[in-house]
Amino acid sequence: MKRFLFPLRKKFHLKGLKKTHGQVLILGVMALILIVTGILILFDVQRIIRGKTKTMAAIDSAALTGANWQKHSLNLIGELNLVKACTVLISDPDYGINKSPDSFMKVEKDEFGNITQKSIDRAIDEFYQLEAASDTLCQMQLRTSFVGPLVGFGAAQQAAKNNGLSYNKDCIKFINQMLQFLTNENFYVLDDFVKQEYFGYKWRIPYINMLSAIRQGNKGIAVGTNVNLIGLPKLYTDPPTNPNYISYIQSKGIIDAILGRDWCIIKVLVDAAWTSRWWGNIVQDRKNQKLMTGSEIMSLSVEYLPPRKKDDDLGKKTFAAKRKEANSLIAKGTPGDFQIDQFKGNDREKLINSYNQMDPVTESGRATDDDDLKFNPLPALTWAVFGEDWLPYSDIKDLEANFRAPFREGAAYTSGALSYFAVHVPMQTLTSRFDFSTNLTFGTKREKSRRMNEYMRDAGKGIRNSSNISSIAFDAVAKPFGRLELQSGAKRPPYEARLVLPVFETVTLIPVALECPEGLPMYDYAWVLYITKYLPALGQSGSIEEAMGKLPAEEAVMVDPIVDALRLLDSPEYREQGRAWLNAEATGHDEFDEFGNFIRHVTDTLNRDHCNDWPGGNGPGRRKGINPMR
């Protein structure tokens, strides 16, 4: 019996063992998959953190480097202003005048006590010599306004590269397009549109050469900035539309708000009455002559007063007419209200008070009671002054409430000298590498995603800029700070002197929401194409898609994500969704009778009533915050 049962037991025992074979292997494979997945996730997280840290350091370094060069440029322009204000200008033989300050622009009397015509003619001739010397210094200041910011822009690129960034294809395309504009007869070459010469300086060719040198054969640009291309034709609608749609759809912030459904920012558009071709007849203005008083990249916003309409006016206007024009400007406070304490011991002394303003003869040639018998030299001088972008922060109390500490004394001002840089760097994770986002989309969206990824792959090697959702985006802004220190010890912003002075001492990073330069974003070449090519085509088209068909296929692919915003605006369902949200109840309360019975619900405020509120702060509730479109 044992001999019979043993083989059976052995047979069934082995059969049971076979059923358990491979279970450990399955658990091991599952554990291995989890471990590998965890390692890959940690690897991707490490790459993202490292990429963000590297990009942030590069952007901050670029912004500070550019601001430092802006500081040096402003101080150099200020030093040259001081040279104009000093007597050395009218006595140093290096300027070709070689006259004593005591006799310069001074008339003489004959034995009968009458002012001689010969001395008047000599004084007027010396006036023009002084004006020519001033123009020479103005040309030096103008060259500084070009060279200083561009050197800072080039130095910022090197700072970004030193922190690990490579060249940026989109920024290089922008520079290439900018160089084309500078040589295109429809843009910067058109003398009636952009002034070609200023103080004898023909800026365009040196400007082109400097930009080409910074480009370094299409590998010199790593980070981009906003560029205010003043030579581009201005877009407007004729006849005007209400609201002015073209002013909205030219704003990148508005386009982002449309795509992000930020109804508060676009409530004017959502509430508007819509018609077909709502964008209107878009035309380009090429007849408005503009002055190139410095680089459009990292501009210093420096102007020159009193301005002349043409350089050849020098020597052609009568002396009396020039003097009358300049005195009119001084009377209006244009250069006469330069308030600086370096020239007098009292606080805020006016520069004009340092000169005898009375002339020995009137415009008709009649003698006056002028004791020193000298003509006022101020009308011969042209000053570098702060442009309109140098202003105090508006509503300073509400603005300071958004920050941890108040502004330093004399530092609460916006400035035209801003060093702003931004970049979008692909994260290069496994998800982006294998295009998982493309594989998980279908239909038209999948085709768009595929075309966009193809464009990204063809954009070039190295670190590329794109608006891809799986990208690291950073921006930073820095600016030079200076203060006027009065004899009383008070600190005032530098722009209050109106005259540019060498008072800039430091540079620092500031919140991007506080200040950001206007202009086209260099790091987003698709936006440049949208502004310069798509919108003009839209103005001559009957529909949004018809305008798209007028662009080359490669450019249409790049502009397509931006045009999606216009497609949304064109949709009645989209606008109705926005109005519904704006008119929805934000706060309300129930009313009850004396017995506690419900009467009705009362709406107190709508969502649109809180569009200017900003949540947070030191206490409960909401408060007005920084303008999101600043």
**CB under 8 Å to 172, separation ≥6 — which residues?**
215, 218, 219, 220, 221
Per-residue pLDDT at 350: 58
> What does the alpha-carbon distance between residue 402 and residue 225 come to, in Å, rounded to a whole number?
26
pLDDT at 437: 44
**Quick check: 362 and 352 in contact, CB under 8 A?**
no
Q: Confirm whether 590 is domain-assigned.
A: yes
Return the ∠ at Cα 143 (arms to 141 and 149), rounded to 5°: 100
Q: Strands 226-227, 201-202: parallel, antiparallel or unpaired by DSSP?
A: unpaired
The answer to whether residue 615 sits within a structural domain is: yes
**Within-domain flag for 134:** no
pLDDT score, position 355: 64
How far apart are alpha carbons 72 and 149 in whole angstroms? 9
pLDDT for the residue numbered 13: 55
Low-confidence ranges of the chain (pLDDT < 50): 94-96, 307-316, 326-348, 436-446, 448-469, 616-630
DSSP class of 347: T
What's the pLDDT tens digit per position in 558-603? 999 999 999 999 999 999 999 999 999 999 999 998 888 889 999 9
Bridge pairing between strands 282-285 and 234-237 = antiparallel
Q: Which candidate, 311, 501, 550, places its Cα nearest to that of 390?
A: 501
Between the alpha carbon of residue 557 and those of residues 145, 305, 424, 546, 575, the distances in Å are 38, 47, 18, 14, 26
The residue behind tokens 């790091």 is 523
Q: CB within 8 A of 77, min separation 6: which ones?
A: 141, 144, 145, 300, 302, 384, 500
Which of 534, 620, 528 is closest to 177 using CA atoms? 528
- The predicted pLDDT at position 451 comes to 47
Residue 542 Ramachandran class (φ > 0 left, ψ -120 to 50 alpha, else beta): alpha
Helix (H), strand (E), coil (C) string for 509-556: EECCCCCCCCCEECCCHHHHHHHHHHHHHHHCCCCHHHHHCCCCHHHH
CA trace torsion 504, 510, 515, 521 (10° rounding): 100
User: What per-residue string of b and e applies to 378-397 under the rule 16 or more CB within 10 Å gives b?
Assistant: bbbbbbbbbbebbeebeeee
Q: How far apart are CA 493 and CA 412, in angstroms?
A: 7
Structural domain including 593 reads 585-624
| Residue 597 domain flag | yes
pLDDT recorded at residue 66: 96
Residue 305 lies in a domain: no
Q: What is the sign of the dihedral through the CA atoms of 307, 370, 350 and 364?
A: negative
The pLDDT of residue 569: 93
User: Nearest-5° angle of CA 588, CA 262, CA 260?
Assistant: 140
C-alpha 452/C-alpha 454 separation (Å) is 5
pLDDT digits (tens, 9 = 90+) for 285-343: 766 667 888 999 999 999 988 644 433 333 345 555 555 554 444 344 333 333 333 33
Task: Classify residue 614: in a domain, yes or no.
Answer: yes
- What is the count of structural domains for the chain? 1
Residue 594, domain member (yes or no):
yes
Q: How far apart are CA 157 and CA 521, in angstroms?
A: 16
* CA gap 225, 380 in Å, rounded: 38
Nearest in space to 228 (alpha carbons), one of 292, 317, 271 = 292
In sequence order, the β-bridge partners of residue 478 are 419, 509
The answer as to whether 613 is a domain residue is yes
Q: Which pLDDT value is given to residue 151?
A: 96
Whole-number pLDDT of residue 440 = 42
Average pLDDT, the chain: 77
